[in-house]
Amino acid sequence: MSKARCKHCGHPPHRADCGVDDCGCVHYEPRPARDPERLRTWIVNAQFFVKNRWIEGEARVKAGGLVGAATKGLREAKRKALTPNTRVMQTKVTIVPVQGSSRRKGQG
């Protein structure tokens, strides 16, 4: 796990808090940890072409963005639908955000 960094300039906390750093930061304030409440819920439908047929898998995941949802959802759907060491020839993925699970209140 990486060390905490300053929210404003990125310097590590073991440096002085008084502003003698090269960056000129006068106060160390740690970056906030990633908030799990800010993650959005996504439904990922994946289809895998295996041995001349399509196999479907679906997963509901929490991720911060589209790419994270695609990665997590594809991994989860593959784990549910296929056995280990199954050769997949082609993959199709459809990603849909769940309404009402947006990151900020008032949107969704």
pLDDT tens digits for range 41-93: 999 999 999 999 999 999 999 998 899 999 999 999 999 999 999 999 999 99
Same domain, 40 and 89: yes
- Which region among 13-17, 29-33, 47-51 has the lowest average model confidence (pLDDT)? 13-17
Whether the CB-CB separation of 69 and 98 falls below 8 Å is answered with: no
Q: In angstroms, how far is CA 37 from the centroid of its own chain?
A: 13
Same domain, 45 and 24: no
Structural domain including 81 reads: 36-97
- Grouping H, G, I as helix, E, B as strand and the rest as coil, residue 78 is helix
Q: What does the pLDDT read at residue 36?
A: 65
Q: What does the pLDDT read at residue 15?
A: 52
pTM of the model: 0.62
Same domain, 22 and 53: no
Give me the number of domains the chain comprises.
2
Q: What does the pLDDT read at residue 16?
A: 53
Work out the burial of residue 42: count CB atoms within 10 Å of its CB; fewer than 13 is exposed, 13-18 middle, 19 or more buried: buried
84 half-sphere exposure, CB direction, 13 A CA radius: 0
